[in-house]
Amino acid sequence: MNAIIIEDEKLAAEYLRGLIQRYDPQIRVLFESDSVKKTVRWFEEGGQADLAFFDIQLADGLSFEIFDKALVTCPVIFTTAYNEYALRAFKVNSIDYLLKPIDLGDLKRAIDKFRTGWLKEPADHTTRRLDALDRILHQFQKTYKSRFVVKVGDHIRPVVVEEILYFYSLDKATFFVTAENRHYPVDYSLEYLEEILDPSRFFRINRKYAISLPAILDIISYSNSRLKIKLKHSTDQDVIVSRERVSEFRHWLDR
């Protein structure tokens, strides 16, 4: 079987080539490229392979551009560190999607899938692609934190995010406020909370606050196109939406 590797990081290409050889020394890597341009030229000049490994982010663009500029008839296994490209990957000739650092077991399963499925039943590509898309939807569906565990005296209590109005930082510590006006400390920075909270529920308005829609009592136009927020259970008179976040905040309000 002949394969090609399209990867813009030399060490990553060498690592992938080594994994392929460990899986099956009979697989021949006949072409390697680090760019869209070089890969398109190879296909235009008649290059053919049984299987391709495409990193998504290349030196001069995204590997998806290769499909727009050249006829790629071989199936592709995408390799990347960024899973936001997962769904788009399955709109082209993809048989699998591997996140870096690539595991030998995952690589083996991907090539086995190609050998047992794509080679033996080429007419059934569409059905398998839809099955793969369904699997990838479940695999990459992001889940957000749904509750926080707090200590109340000698008691431990879970607080679901639906009860939380907003998070705020104070003296290098982070707290949240509930609808019942209870304040609890949490062992997370606001930066990390941005990663684990549902962005449709909470919005980071500045370096000090991440708020929910039910927390807002009033929004007031402020100087220099900024906005001032009046929050429930808060005496802070300077809850200001950062200038660089105003546009995104308005969009968040209008969903």
Give the pLDDT confidence of 189-215 residue by residue, as tens digits: 999 998 889 888 999 999 999 999 999
Give residue 82's pLDDT.
60
Question: Is residue 205 within 8 Å of 211, Cβ to Cβ?
Answer: yes
Tens digits of residue pLDDT in 148-165: 999 888 889 999 999 999
pLDDT above 70 for 70: yes
Label residue 123 by pLDDT band (50, 70, 90).
Answer: very low
Q: Which amino acid is at 1?
A: M
Label residue 60 by pLDDT band (50, 70, 90).
Answer: confident
- Three-state SS for the chain is CEEEEECCCHHHHHHHHHHHHHHCCCCEEEEEECCHHHHHHHHHCCCCCCEEEEECEECCEECHHHHHHCCCCCCEEEEECCHHHHHHHCCCCEEEEEECCCCHHHHHHHHHHHHHHHCCCHHHHHHHHHHHHHHHHHHHCCCCCCEEEEEECCEEEEEEHHHEEEEEEECCEEEEEECCCCEEEECCCHHHHHHHCCCCCEEECCCCEEEEHHHEEEEEECHHHCEEEEECCCCCCCCEECHHHHHHHHHHHCC
Give residue 117's pLDDT.
65
Give residue 217's pLDDT.
96
> How many angstroms separate the Cα of 232 from the Cα of each of 124, 155, 199?
57, 26, 20
* Least reliable range by pLDDT among 50-59, 67-76, 108-117, 244-253: 108-117
Tens digits of residue pLDDT in 160-182: 999 999 999 998 899 999 999 99
Q: Which amino acid is at 6?
A: I
Give residue 140's pLDDT.
47
Domain(s) of CATH 2.40.50.40: residues in the chain: 147-253
- Which residues partner with 52 through β-bridges? 4, 76
Give residue 142's pLDDT.
57
The domain made up of 2-140 has a fold known as Rossmann fold (3.40.50)
Label residue 43 by pLDDT band (50, 70, 90).
Answer: very high
pLDDT above 60 for 93: no
Give residue 153's pLDDT.
85
Domain(s) of CATH 3.40.50.2300: residues in the chain: 2-140
What whole-number distance in Å separates Cα of residue 201 and Cα of residue 184?
19
Give residue 112's pLDDT.
83
The more confidently predicted of residues 14 and 130 is 14
Record the tokens describing residue 216, joined without a space.
């807002």
Task: List Cβ neighbours of 156 (8 Å cut-off, separation of 6 or more).
Answer: 149, 150
> Pairing between strand 51-55 and 76-80?
parallel
Label residue 232 by pLDDT band (50, 70, 90).
Answer: very high
CATH number of 147-253: 2.40.50.40
> How many angstroms separate the Cα of 40 from the Cα of each of 28, 69, 82, 179?
20, 7, 23, 58
Give residue 177's pLDDT.
96
Give residue 115's pLDDT.
77
pLDDT above 70 for 130: no
Label residue 9 by pLDDT band (50, 70, 90).
Answer: confident
